[in-house]
Amino acid sequence: MNRYERPTLRAMTGYSFGEQPKAQSVIKLNTNENPYAPSPAVAEALGAFDVATLRRYPSPFAEGFRAAAAALHGLEPDWIIATNGGDELLRLLITTYLEPGQPLATTDPSYSLYPVLAAVQDCPTVSFPLDDAFGLPEDLGAQAEAAGAGIFCLVNPHAPTGRLFSSEAIEGVLAQFSGVVLIDQAYVDFIDEGEKAAALAMLKRHDRVLLLRTLSKGYALAGLRFGYGLAQPSLIEPMLTKTRDSYNVDAIAQALATAALEDQAWAHDNWAKVRRERALLAAALAQRGFTVPPSQTNFLFPIVPAPFEAGALKEALRAENILVRHFPGALGERLRITVGTAEENAALLAAIDRAACP
C-alpha cells in the first residue's frame, strides 16, 4: 500500500477497459470501434506532415480544428474546445464545474467512467434508474436537483442500451435541474440528421448545456484520441483558459482530426454503411430468438434467448476469437455487440449457430 496516496483514491476502483487483443485476427465487437477505415484524407495529412515542425509546440488552442468544427456546425470557434479524447472533456467539465464533495448525477446504467472521474474530484455519484423501457423518468431532473448535483451527465444516444432520448425528454430534465448538463454524443454520428440539428438548437437555447463529440466512433479514429466540446462561449472559456492542460492536443492529432472532419462525404458514407449493417444484424439476431431493442448507435444490446446464458455465450464466442461485451448484474442476460463489417457479422452469426448446435 502506498501511504502517500490520497484516501479517496485508495478506496476507489479505476475504469475497467474492454479487452484489447494484440492479434489482428480477432473479430473485435466489444468496444464499439468503427469497422471501416478512416478517410483517405487522414492518410494524406499524415504523409504531408512536416516532422521538422515537431520541435515546436502545437497550436495551444487548436485554432485550425476549431475553425473546421465551427464551420461544420454553423457556430463560431469560441463555441468549440478541442480535447485529448472525449474523456479529457469530461475531466475538464468536472474539474471546472463540480465543487469537491458535490454530487455528479447520471442514469443507471450509464458510462462507467463518470463515477471514476467524479471520485478523483472527491465527489460522489448519484445514479437514477431509467424506466423499464430504458427511457428517462419524468422526474429525473427533479431527482438530481434534490440530490444537490452540480452536473448531470447523460449519454445520448445512450450506452449501453442504444436508445436515443428525444429532445423533449432532455428539455424536461433541463426544466427541473439547475446545474450544468452534459449530453455525451459519442455515438451521435449514427443517428438521423434531424436529431443532430435538434441538439444544436438546444445548445443555443441553454448556456449550461455542453455537447461532447468524439472522432473515435463516427470518424474511425479511436487510436488518435481526439474529441471536442460544443457549448456557449461562457461555458467553454473557463475550461479553455484555466483548467485545460497546456498544449493538450498534439500537432499531428490536430492535423489528422481536421482532415477527417473536413471530409464529410467519406464520413456520411461510413455512417450509412454502419446503419445498414446494424439493421441487417438486428434482423438476423431476431431470427435466432434474440430480443433486439432499436439502436441509434453502432452497437446492439440484445437479450440472449434460452437455452443460452449471456456470459457463457460470450465465452463461447471468445473461444472462436470473437469478442463481445457482457454486463453482469441487472443487465446480465444481455450482450453488447458492436456492429462489424458484413464479413465480421456473418462470422459472428455462424459462431452463434455453432454454439446453439454444438
CATH 3.40.640.10 range(s) for the chain read: 49-263
Q: Does the structure show a pLDDT above 70 at 126?
A: yes
Q: Give pTM, 2 decimals.
A: 0.95
Helix, strand or coil, per DSSP, at residue 214: strand
Tell the burial category of 22 from Cβ atoms under 10 Å away from its Cβ (0-12, 13-18, 19+): exposed
Helix, strand or coil, per DSSP, at residue 45: helix
Just give the CATH number of 7-38+265-356. Answer: 3.90.1150.10
Average pLDDT over residues 118-137: 96
- What are the helix and strand counts (H, E) for the chain? 13, 12
Helix axes 85-97, 113-120, angle to 10 degrees: 40
For 311-351, the pLDDT digits (tens) are: 999 999 999 999 999 988 878 799 999 999 999 999 999 99
Q: How confident is the model at residue 358 (pLDDT cuts 50, 70, 90)?
A: low
Q: Does the structure show a pLDDT above 70 at 43?
A: yes
Classify 287 in phi/psi space as left (phi over 0), alpha (psi -120 to 50) or beta. Answer: alpha
- Radius of gyration of the chain, Cα coordinates, nearest whole angstrom: 21
Q: According to the model, what pLDDT value does residue 199 have?
A: 86
For 207-222, the pLDDT digits (tens) are: 999 999 999 999 999 9
Which among 304, 298, 271 is positioned nearest to 285, based on CA atoms? 304
Q: Which CATH number fits domain 49-263: 3.10.180.10, 3.40.630.30, 3.90.1150.10, 3.40.640.10?
A: 3.40.640.10
Say how far apart CA 233 and CA 314 lie, in whole Å. Answer: 45
Tell me the one-letter amino acid at 180: V
Say how far apart CA 73 and CA 182 lie, in whole Å. Answer: 18
β-bridge mates for residue 229, sequence order: 81, 212
CATH 3.90.1150.10 range(s) for the chain read: 7-38+265-356
